[in-house]
Structures are given as structure tokens and as C-alpha cells.
Structure 1
Amino acid sequence: MLFCEVYLALQMSFVEYGEYIREGDIAIVFLGHESMFPVKAQHGTQTQTKYGVIRHSSDLIGKRFGSKVTCSKGGWVYVLHPTPELWTQNLPHRTQILYSTDISMITIMLELKPGSVVCESGTGSGSLSHAIIRTIAPTGHLYTVEFHEQRAEKAAEEFREHKVAHLATVKNQDVCKEGFGVVGVADAVFLDIPSPWEAIGHAKAAIKEEGGQMCSFSPCIEQVQRTCLAMHEFGFKEITTLEVLLRIYDVRSVSLQLPDFGDGDSTAERDPKETGTGQQATAVCNSCVTPRGMAGHTGYLTFATKSLL
């Protein structure tokens, strides 16, 4: 009885941790850092992996999140609890998305916290939306606007599946013409649209009386210039543009030759195992290198503060 009570009470949600996988829950099948994908647990369903078949009824439903599951070919995978970070890496792309590097900067610069009210446009694939919802839960709310009808419908469907629909309102409309549908309630506004300067007035109207923050994401500096001019015209202050670049380092062990300065103290720099054969002494050390091919620029983040002055 106790197991059943816990099993029913702790439901999977992107903002609350559920201990056991239930029918209809989303789980992340983890085969390795470069290979993982989401599945929806359903009785009678099978999922094929390179290690064999995962049978949802026996291998997923009723198991703890984080469990190690053996596939039909004998290989194994982990089934992980979904998080906004994992969802960003595995979501179905309907548009280009924001990744954790930019998302983390947006979250901190907009001063988001539990209880914050946020307006967003456009919703796109919902990468940033999930991160915002997790940050503002359990008492905040996200009003997200998407111009494309099918994308708006899909985002609303995903919010329901991920048990966060009570924290988000999805609107299908043109934010540049119709705004966000709310006035004077938002703590922060985020814009990721082709012409953000056309929505600055609506963003100002949506933000609370004074002190609210806004951010605009644009891939081109020409967009940033026009957006900054519009922010200035509408009385925004503290206008700042940032570019967040991710640089990955790979730590490797390499062998380096030690310098030979001739007779004398040079013997102290030689490998103790050397027997006078004339071979150059070597030392093993760690080296940090970057990949030859690496994604650089994603976009510019322009932040501003609403002011009555």
C-alpha cells in the first residue's frame, strides 16, 4: 500500500521530481553523452536502440528514474528523469533553439526567480520556455506567444505532457501587432523574433510599472542596432549587448621532451630509468586543447530595464 501511495503521489514533471516512471511519462534514454533521446512510456510499446529493444511495460513503467535497463541484445542504458537541460539536447527541433549557454545568461540577467511573471515571443521549439518555467515555478507564470499556429499547438501539447501547463499560457498571434495579451504584470520580457524593434512598445506595456527587465536575442548586429534605438526611444535604460561564446577544452595526457642543457645539472632533469643510452628524457603532463571545428557565434543578447524617467 505504501509503495502504491508513493507511486501515485510523485508524478513526473519538468519542475518536480517523480521517483517512478508512470504510463505517459517522458523519460530520457541515455546511451552515452553523445547519444540519448526522449521516449514516452506506454504499455505495449517497444523502443529500438543499438543495444536492442526496450519494452516499456517491463523495462520502463514502474521502474525508478535513473535505473539501469538491460536491452534485448544484452547491452544496457540508463533511463533519466527529464530536465530542461536534457530536453534542450533532445527536443524535436521545429526551429533553431537556444542552448544552455545563452539560457543561463538570460535567466540570471532577467533576475528570474520563483514567482516571476515572464512574457516570451516566439515560443519556437520550447527550449527556453522549459527553462523559464522551471525557474519561476511553483507560483510564477509564463505567457508565451508564437506566430506559427502549428508550433503554438505543439508547444501547448508538450506543456501538458510535461505537467507544466498550469504554469504557462500559449497564445497564437503576432506579437508585433497584438502584443502579449497582458498589460503591466510582467517582471521580464524575452524576444526572439526577426524584427524585435517592432515589439518593443508591446514589451514595455506588458512589463510592470517600473524596474522590469527585457531581453532580445538576435543573430545579426544590424538587428541589434535597430533594437537598441527602439529601446532608447521607448525610454528603456541600462541597454547592454552581450555575446556569449562557448569554448570547450579537451584535457589530454601528452609526453614532452625535457630540455638537455649539457653536462652538469641536466642529469637531474632526465628520466631516472635512463641508462646513459643518449635518449632524450621525457615527462608526462596534461595538455588542454580545443577542437579544430567548434560552433562559435549563436547570437547577441540585448538587455534593458524599464524606467519611468
Structure 2
Amino acid sequence: MLPVDPAKKIAFNRHISDGDLVIVYERHDIMKAVKVCENSALQNRFGVFKHSDWIGKPFGSKVFSNKGGFVYLLAPTPELWTLVLSHRTQILYIADISFVVMYLELVPGCLVLESGTGSGSLTTSLARAIAPTGHVYTFDFHEQRAASAREDFEKTGLNSLVTVGVRDIQGEGFPDDFSGRADSVFLDLPQPWLAIPSAGKMLKQDGILCSFSPCIEQVQRCCDTLRTSFTDIRTFEVLLRTYEVREVKIDGWQTDDSGSLGSLPCKRRQLSSEEGGNGRDIPSSSTVMARPSPETRGHTGYLTFARLRSLS
């Protein structure tokens, strides 16, 4: 087994230290990334939380404010970082990210090329998949965006696994230094077909390319270009439907013949004298109900995968 460079481990101490990045969790849709500083404090609707009280506690701890309110201190995993990072561009979310990592067949030691970097949502998951011996080289044409992404990777401890470059991949292609070395290439570009010839030169034999596009017209043109040197071309649209599961009070509501609750609002049903109720209200009870979330995210984009065709 190859020795592992300790500097390339994507890990964090299980106990919080001064200078660590933590995810402050209020509820599933309210989270915030905070850098721990011994002399600082976090103030929110629950009160004031002193950072000095956090130091030494294990990640996952429940901490209390001066008013008795509480939050949880979570480790900055790629999944949580995707939910709290600054949106410099439209980002990929967990459903698409997990699909990409699987179909690119990423394992520790892989070399991955990415363009463009954007907010770095996908890059963090790519880095964990190829750690501790692989590397992600990601490029963005926008210099300030690349600099901001570089700072984020330093915050999350990924700077030893990710190198950020400033380059117009659509116009210039990938650097020749990577020719024939990449296991996978990911493209998030408005005109991915312009970068496909360069991506083909970078990939190892049997290497895999993925292109993310929000519009089907982009997919069609991309696939036309892929056919010249790629095979096994497939396009997917990942749609995720989440459910809310909660306990609700029935309060003696009548049900219809199917056993489902009647439409709201409705009158409380009273027990008749024949039922031994003498007109009394049915006592309140509760049950657990599940329903689709009203804020379910719909279409994000299309994922097109292709495998480099063998020359033999």
C-alpha cells in the first residue's frame, strides 16, 4: 500500500479548536459556517453564544446561549458545505453531485479535471472521493471567482487536494501538462462542445467525461461533438422529491369513507348518546403524517456522460 501524506488527509479533529470552521445548525434549512475565534461570539434569535464555550467540545455538540437557546456545532462535511457556501454562481446540489461522483467512477488516487469552478460545491465532493492520494485541478476564467474558491478550499482543509487555476477552457483548452493523465473530466460550461476535443486529449484510455448543462439544446450539440471520439453517451436528469414527516393533532375530526381526514376546516364530531357520549367531543389525538415538501427543487440541469473510445 502506498504511504499516505498526512497533509493530504481530508479530515478534522473530532474536538473543536480555536481557528476551526464549524457549521452552526439551527434547523435543516438554517445553517451557517463560522470560524471559531476564542474572543468572538455568535448572536442570533436564540441569544449570544461565546466561541470560548465551543473550544474543546466534540463536533456534534449541543451548545447553549446566555438565554438558554441552543444550536448544534457540526463538522464541515462536503454535504453541509454545499448548503452554506456563498453562491457566486448557480451550484450543483447533493442529488446531482452524488450521481456525478458515482458515474465518473472516482476512487482514491484519481486525477480529475474540472471547468468551471464556480462556487466550488462539486469540487469539495470530488476532492473527498479521490483523497488522500488523488488530486482535483479545477479552472475558472474569472480571476476573482477563482481566488474566492481558493480561499474556501483553504477554510475547509482541501487546499492540498485541490489546485485552482485561472483559464478559459472553452477558448484555450486544458493545459498540455495533463495530456493522457486524467481519469475523469467534468465540464460546467455554457458551450461545452468547444472544450470536448481538449478533454478527449487529457483523458486516459477508457476515461470518462461529464458535462452539466441546464438547457436541452446544449445537450444536443454536446452529444453531436462527443460522437467523434467518445462512446457510451448517456444523458440524465435527476429529480429529487423530499417528504415532510411530522406529528399532527386530529382533534376529533371526522373522516370520510376511505379513512382519510376530511378537508379543513371541519367541525369536531360529537359522540352520540347511542355511542355513550351524551354529546361530548371526541378527545384530541395525534398521528404521524407524511406529505411531499411544497418547496421541492425541480429541474437543475442535464448530466451527459461519455467514455473515451479506445484507439485499438
Question: TM-score surpassing 0.5?
Answer: yes
Report if aligned partners of 1:14, 1:134 keep a CA contact under 8 Å in 2.
Answer: no
8 Å Cα contact 2:193-2:222 kept in structure 1? yes
Q: Distance in 2 between matches of 1:143 and 1:89?
A: 23
TM-score, normalised relative to structure 2: 0.83
**What residue in structure 2 maps to residue 5 of structure 1?**
none
Structure 1 pair 154/247, CA: closer, same or farther in 2 (3 Å)?
same
The corresponding residue for 1:257 is 256
Q: TM-score when scaled to structure 1?
A: 0.84
| RMSD (CA atoms) | 2.7
Residue aligning to 2:266? none
Of 163, 171, 188, 1:169 maps to 163
Distance 1:94 1:14 in 2: 27
Aligned to 1:77: 71
| % identical aligned pairs | 49
Per mean C-alpha deviation after superposition, the further-off stretch among 129-138 and 171-180 is 171-180
1:197 maps to a residue whose letter is: W
Deviation string, structure 1 residues 88-131 (Cα, Å, up to 9, x no partner): 01111111100000001000011011111110011111100000
Q: CA–CA distance in 2 between the matches of 1:13 and 1:67? A: 27
SS of equivalent residue, structure 1 residue 20? coil
Measured at CA, do residues 66 and 30 of structure 1 come closer, stay the same or move farther in structure 2, by a change above 3 Å? same
Q: Which amino acid aligns with 1:257?
A: D
1:222-272 residue CA offsets vs partner (Å, 9 max, x unmatched): 000110011112x10000000000112334667743469xxxxxxxxxxxx
The structure-2 alpha-carbon separation of the partners of 1:292 and 1:85, relative to structure 1 and needing over 3 Å to count, comes to: closer
User: Which position in structure 1 is the counterpart of 2:301?
Assistant: 299
Amino acid at match of 1:26: L
Task: Name 1:265's counterpart in structure 2.
Answer: none
Q: 38-47 vs 98-107, which deviates more? A: 38-47
Q: Residues 63 and 278 (structure 1 numbering): CA distance in 2 closer, same or farther, change over 3 Å?
A: closer
Instruction: Say if 1:226 and 1:259 are closer, same or farther in 2 by CA, change over 3 A.
Output: closer
Query: Aligned partners of 2:154, 2:91: CA distance in 1, in Å?
Result: 20
Task: Give a deviation string over 1:142-170, Cα, whole Å, max 9, x none.
Answer: 01001110110111112122222111111
C-alpha contact 1:14 1:84 (8 A) present in aligned 2: no
SS at match of 1:131: helix
Separation in 2, partners of 1:137, 1:175? 25
Cα 1:203–1:287 change in 2 (3 A) is: same
**Alignment counterpart, residue 15 of structure 1, candidates 10, 16, 20:** 10
Q: Corresponding residue for 2:202?
A: 206
1:34 Cα shift? 1.9
In structure 2, relative to structure 1, the CA distance for the partners of 1:67 and 1:250 (3 Å cut) is closer
Contact in 2 for aligned 1:248/1:290 (Cα 8 Å): yes
Distance in 1 between the 2:25 and 2:305 partners?
36
Partner of 1:146: 140
Match of 2:218 among 223, 231, 237: 223
Structure with the higher fraction of residues in helix conformation: 1
Q: Which amino acid aligns with 1:184?
A: G
Q: Distance in 2 between matches of 1:232 and 1:99?
A: 28
Structure 2, unpaired ranges of 5+: 1-5, 260-270, 278-284
Separation in structure 2 between the aligned mates of residue 157 and residue 285 of structure 1, nearest angstrom: 48
Match of 2:116 in 1: 122
Q: Is the 8 A contact 2:137 2:162 kept in 1?
A: yes
CA, structure 1 residues 307+247, in 2 after alignment: closer, same or farther (shift >3 Å)?
A: same
Paired residues, number = 282
Q: How does 1:1-309 map to 2 (within 5 A)?
A: 15-56=10-51, 58-181=52-175, 182-208=178-204, 210-233=205-228, 235-251=229-245, 256-258=255-257, 276-277=274-275, 288-309=290-311
Check the 8 A contact 1:19/1:64 in 2, yes or no: yes
Matched letter for residue 293 of structure 2: P
Q: CA deviation at 1:289?
A: 2.8
How far is the alpha carbon of 1:221 from its aligned partner?
Answer: 0.3
Say if 2:22 and 2:33, in contact at 8 Å, map to a contact too: yes
